[in-house]
Amino acid sequence: MMQLSAGEILQLSPDESSSKAAKGLVVPAKWPRLEYDEQAIWGECQGSGSKPYQVQVDKSGPAFRCSCPSRKFPCKHGLALLLLMAQDASLFSAATAPAWVAEWLAGRQQRAEKQEARIAEKRDAAPDPQAAARREDNRRQRMAGGLEELERWLNDRLRQGLAQLPGQTAIWEDLARRMIDAQLPGLAFRLRQIAGRVGRDEAWPAQVLGGLGQLRLLIDAFRRLDNLPAAIRQDVRGALGINLDRDEVLAGGERLRDDWLVLGQSIDEEGNLWSRRVWLLGQQSQRFALLLDFAHGGRRFEQNYLTASRLHGELAFFPGNRPLRALSTGDTQLLPAANPPSVALDGALSGLAEAVAANPWQSPQPILIDGGIPQPDAAGWSLRCPENRQLRLQVRDEDGWTLLAHSGGNPLTVFGEWHGDVLHPLAAWQGKPIWQKGMEEA
């Protein structure tokens, strides 16, 4: 792990309160033990009890572990340990890792080796085609029944019109649950997304109608599934919620080694499920990649990423007509930060159009634009580009003003997620990173 700045460390914080609490622990007197070796950093932090908390960070992640009872990840102690290192590395002594650190590192290594063994076993195992065919046939029958029900529901909605939809949230949730019962979780997710647009603003009827049209397209694609090219068939299955097992992707997916720039990341919460999208761009391949992770019960992800950092490593891509989602093979090295390439608006929109044409069900799509200036108007915020063209931004008003202040009114390179009609900015550069969504000030 390279030396991180305080601002980069605070990017890893799960929330603002954790950042504030971590800053309060950056006091050497609270840490009777601060040590490191080539693999890890560790320390003991005196809390309210008689026994200090044991805090450790694996440099290769960074990955965290702490003996405190906090359910946040990383906790304030892990953040404070890294902040202390960033503030004054001379506080740490080189040492041999104690048993509680060595055992944790060994456990991480063993888990990685077991995963590699599973991948190798799956790669070499002889499949049972008859059993696989039976499982596929059973699922296809349940899915077909669910899609027939969805088709009837869509026909009813179109006959009745959209004017009655505001206030009828229950009908969407009821149908979404039935899609899950039919083993169509992807459609349940899309129905809830469409429901969230109803009545949101003046443009909601067109947005809802477009969403319903995509559902109709998926129904038609499913009925022609066996006649579609293999890559498009995988995209349709993914949109319906049938994804390949991670081990299968790691065993047989397209692999690409590159220097990957972390363009931005977005975290969403729905009930007890947290999802994180990390967007990468290969500097040699110029390919976008999406790392999609899920966590249940709390915002706790195994691997941490720093926006605007750069990783050298290999990714395994899920199959598709234009592969985007990928998995890290685990062999990564943190490199000095770099700036994204310059992409004019025409080039960015052309790339976006190609991506949507290749896979119309992928949402959001990544987009990188150079030369835009954020500006407010009566409808919210826009990105003003050369030749007086504009892209509507989906951004909180306070974040819009912060972004404008950081820009000084000068053009920016902006990366974000395209949600069909608006750009949700995640990071901005002006020769160097100047803003990231959710960035905490040091």
Give the burial class of 144: count Cβ atoms within 10 A of its Cβ; 0-12 exposed, 13-18 middle, 19 or more buried.
middle
Q: Kindly report the pTM of this predicted structure.
A: 0.78
pLDDT higher than threshold 80 for residue 439: no
Give the SS3 label for residue 399. Answer: helix
DSSP secondary structure letters along 199-258:
TSSTTHHHHHHHHHHHHHHHHHHHHTGGGS-HHHHHHHHHHHT----HHHHHHHSEEEEE
Dist CA 200 CA 360 (whole Å)? 23
Sign of the Cα torsion 87, 92, 97, 98 reads: negative
Q: What are phi and psi of 117, to 5 degrees?
A: -65, -40
pLDDT digits 0-9 by tens, 213-261? 999 999 999 999 999 999 999 999 999 988 888 888 988 889 999 999 9
Dist CA 424 CA 414 (whole Å)? 10
Average pLDDT over residues 13-40: 90
Q: What is the DSSP letter of 319?
A: P
Q: What is the pLDDT of residue 124?
A: 63
Angle of CA points 342, 345, 350, to nearest 5°: 105
Q: Mapped to the 3 state alphabet, what secondary structure does 139-203 carry?
A: HHHHHHHHHHHHHHHHHHHHHHCCCCCCCCHHHHHHHHHHHHHCCCHHHHHHHHHHHHHCCCCCC
Q: What is the DSSP letter of 387?
A: G
Q: Give the residue with greater pLDDT, 291 vs 8.
A: 291
- Residue pair 372/391 in contact by the 8 Å Cβ criterion: yes
Q: What is the pLDDT of residue 442?
A: 32
Dist CA 342 CA 411 (whole Å)? 12
pLDDT higher than threshold 50 for residue 385: yes
pLDDT higher than threshold 70 for residue 126: no
Least-confidence region, from 13-17, 169-173, 202-206: 13-17
Q: Give the closest residue to 202 by CA, choosing from 397, 392, 375.
A: 392
Separate counts of helices (H) and strands (E) for the chain: 12, 16
Dist CA 376 CA 396 (whole Å)? 11
Dist CA 190 CA 307 (whole Å)? 28
Amino acid (1-letter code) at residue 252: G
Q: Give the residue with greater pLDDT, 271 vs 1.
A: 271
Give the list of residues 6+ apart from residue 209 with CB closer than 8 angstroms, or none.
Answer: 162
pLDDT category, 128, cuts 50, 70, 90? low
Long-range contact set of residues 199-207: C-beta below 8 Å, sequence gap at least 24: 199/165, 199/166, 199/167, 203/421, 205/162, 207/420, 207/421
Q: What is the DSSP letter of 113?
A: H
Dist CA 142 CA 200 (whole Å)? 33
- Percentage of the chain beyond pLDDT 70 is 94
Amino acid (1-letter code) at residue 188: A
